[in-house]
Amino acid sequence: MLKLDNKTALVTGASQGIGEAIAKLLALQGARVVVAARNEEKLKSLAAYIDAGGGCARPLALDVSQPETFNERLKSLPADFGEIDILVNNAGITADNLLARMSLDDWERVLRTNLTGAFALSKEVIRGMMKRRWGRIVNVSSVVGMMGNAGQANYAASKAGLIGFTKSLARELGSRNITVNVVAPGYIETAMTESLPEASREALTGSIALKRLGTVDDVAAAVLFLASEEAGYITGHALNVSGGLYI
Ligand SMILES: NC(=O)c1ccc[n+]([C@@H]2O[C@H](COP(=O)([O-])OP(=O)(O)OC[C@H]3O[C@@H](n4cnc5c(N)ncnc54)[C@H](OP(=O)(O)O)[C@@H]3O)[C@@H](O)[C@H]2O)c1
């Protein structure tokens, strides 16, 4: 079940956190994995870790906020990694502030990385998927894109945008046997959440039905499922992995 043999996956934001866990799990299930982000050193050690465990990975230095570089960066991959079957748009940033204090630059930076990056990279890889009549795109959004969050207007807009983007693309690409879905994590234990003060962490945990923060592996499991053959009749769906923070 959920084997990805003979598939090539590209995971953005794979240098740490949720993306790293997704890359490791997809590789464990048999996929060749291109691990992409800006920090090439971290990517090289992740690829070496995956290879040493019997998997198959290649690092790819890629800044998702620079779409004009995508074509050339993808062409730099070895031929057996060049045809992307599974794209996981996971790279994301925050630049939180109340709207009154949010700069246009913070707004545009977050939208460009979280939303425009996913648009442009999807555009780059769908040609091959359409030709092969098989593809999986999984966009990592956030429950914040559904609930909103004070101080995160830019981030919430980018994550809500990803959901609309996903649903539209699912309708465009369904006839080519390409599915497009969202995984929307709640609060996950990562660098993004470790700076939370203890009191906020307790209040937060109280509002989660399962009474704990999620793990990167909780999110990776959902991505694996949506990337698998077995999820072939699911498209345009937003799967919350929030422990019941948002129901
Ligand atoms: N943690 C949570 O609680 C949570 C909840 C809901 C949704 N999410 C979403 O899940 C995703 C992963 O979050 P995380 O917690 O793992 O975050 P993280 O630990 O901060 O990691 C973010 C990843 O994105 C990459 N990245 C950032 N800007 C990039 C750019 N311009 N080009 C390429 N890669 C870039 C970073 O790598 P480099 O710095 O090496 O480029 C890093 O690998 C994000 O989309 C986030 O919004 C997280």
- The CB of 154 under 6 Å from ligand 1? The reply is no
**Catalytic-labelled residue, pool 155, 187, 233, 246:** 155
- The CB of 37 under 6 Å from ligand 1? The reply is yes
pLDDT value for 82: 83
- Residue nearest to ligand 1 atom 44, measured at CA: 92
Distance (Å) from CA 199 to ligand 1 centroid: 24
* Domain count across the chain: 1
The pTM of the whole model exceeds 0.85: yes
Tell whether 80 is covered by a domain. yes
**What is the distance between the alpha carbons of residues 236 and 219, in angstroms, rounded to a whole number?**
18
For the stretch 60-85, pLDDT in tens is 999 999 999 999 999 999 998 989 99
Residue 29 lies in domain: 8-238
pLDDT value for 207: 95
Portion of the chain with pLDDT greater than 70, in percent: 100
Tell whether 60 is covered by a domain. yes
- The CB of 18 under 6 Å from ligand 1? The reply is yes
Tell whether 243 is covered by a domain. no
pLDDT value for 222: 99
Q: Are 141 and 182 in contact, with CB atoms under 8 Å apart? A: yes
Kindly state the tokens that stand for 209: 């039905």
Tell whether 1 is covered by a domain. no
- The CB of 64 under 6 Å from ligand 1? The reply is yes
- The CB of 165 under 6 Å from ligand 1? The reply is no
**What is the distance between the alpha carbons of residues 87 and 130, in angstroms, rounded to a whole number?**
13
Tell whether 221 is covered by a domain. yes
Told to judge if 49 belongs to the known catalytic residues of this protein, a careful annotator would answer no
Tell whether 2 is covered by a domain. no
pLDDT-flagged residues of the chain (< 50):
none
Long-range contacts for 141-150 (Cβ within 8 Å, ≥24 apart)? 141/166, 141/182, 141/183, 141/184, 141/238, 142/92, 142/184, 142/185, 142/186, 143/184, 143/185, 143/186, 143/240, 143/242, 143/245, 143/246, 145/184, 146/184, 146/238, 146/240, 146/246, 147/246, 150/98
pLDDT value for 174: 98
* CATH number for 191: 3.40.50.720
Tell whether 3 is covered by a domain. no
Contacts of 89 (CB under 8 A, 6+ apart): 12, 64, 117, 118, 121, 122, 137, 138, 139, 140, 162
Tell whether 168 is covered by a domain. yes
Which of 22, 90, 111 to mutate to test ligand 1, by most ligand atoms within 8 A of the CB atom? 90
